[in-house]
Amino acid sequence: MPVRGSWRFALGALLLSGVASPIVMRHDVPERRYLELATRFPAAVKIRLANGSDGEGTLVGLRWVLTAAHVAGGVQPDDLVVAGGKSYLVERVFMHPEFRELAMAYLPYDIALVRLRLDVAGIEPASLTDQPEVVGSIVTFVGRGGFGTGVAGVRGEDGRLRAGTNRLEEVAGPFLKFRFDRPEDAGVTELEGISGPGDSGGAAFIDRDGKRYVIGVSSWQDTRPTNRVQGVYGVIENYVRVSNHYDWIVRTMREGN
């Protein structure tokens, strides 16, 4: 179960090293379709740290970015968030108060907010919801960095934004679970994909009644079904449930303004 980001050396025998890349795709679908889908998700932003590493996040307010706590733990004031091709300075980071590094028990709290110094112009933030998720719903993952296919796994990085779809497999307590289905599997989606090793902190988006919501934050990947290989068919991706932390997110944004 590799956790991506700064913790990758310390979570015991079940964990593999890995840093979260963008989307791993079906091997039988043209890559251009994943690139085209990504252009419809401008609220998916890049967090660029002064130390040279990157993370993913989602614009959920004009000055607010939702991400994973294990990504935000490395973010400092005056680091950058890139949104719509423009860079915005970070003002402050709000980690979930229950989160602790290097402990699996705290992964349910792997969520954080980043406040920017200035409003992001020209991008509509994604909406938040405390409504329960529905198993079988189709979501969209968006990310940059490493990419590949379900057959070959992650094969490289080029910094381009890709997006893929997936079906919610299970709501398991604090996590939303998604499986990377093979083309012949019954539940496979047309643009099936999974987050890879630089996608940490990215969103699981869902559209409801004409609005776009973020319902999950990319946290960790369970590679036990794939003999410890990341980003191949059969791997399980775990997203922290936004609904579990809705009150904390809304309160933090209100009090931080």
pTM recorded for the entire structure: 0.91
Closest CA to 137 of 194, 177, 184, 182: 177
Domain spans, the chain: 23-39+127-243, 44-123+245-256
User: What local confidence, expressed as pLDDT, does residue 51 receive?
Assistant: 77
Kindly state the tokens that stand for 217: 């934050």
Q: What DSSP character marks residue 4?
A: P
User: What local confidence, expressed as pLDDT, does residue 145 receive?
Assistant: 66
pLDDT digits (tens, 9 = 90+) for 198-223: 668 999 999 999 999 999 999 998 99
Residues 6 or more apart whose CB falls under 8 angstroms from that of 107 comprise: 3, 174, 175, 219, 220, 238, 240
Give me the amino acid identity at 214. Answer: V
Whether 249 contacts 60, CB under 8 Å: yes
pLDDT digits (tens, 9 = 90+) for 160-174: 899 999 999 999 999
Report the CATH number of the 23-39+127-243 domain.
2.40.10.10
* pLDDT < 70: residue spans in the chain: 1-22, 102-103, 145, 197-199
Whether 19 contacts 71, CB under 8 Å: no
Same fold flag, 23-39+127-243 and 44-123+245-256: yes
User: Distance (Å, rounded) from C-alpha 5 to C-alpha 18?
Assistant: 7
User: Distance (Å, rounded) from C-alpha 180 to C-alpha 185?
Assistant: 10
User: What local confidence, expressed as pLDDT, does residue 131 receive?
Assistant: 95
User: What local confidence, expressed as pLDDT, does residue 14 receive?
Assistant: 33
Report the CATH number of the 44-123+245-256 domain.
2.40.10.10
- Largest Cα separation within the chain, whole Å, is 49
Could you write out the DSSP letters of every residue in 190-203?
A: TTBEEE----TT-E
User: Distance (Å, rounded) from C-alpha 240 to C-alpha 219?
Assistant: 6
User: Distance (Å, rounded) from C-alpha 165 to C-alpha 151?
Assistant: 17
User: What local confidence, expressed as pLDDT, does residue 195 receive?
Assistant: 87
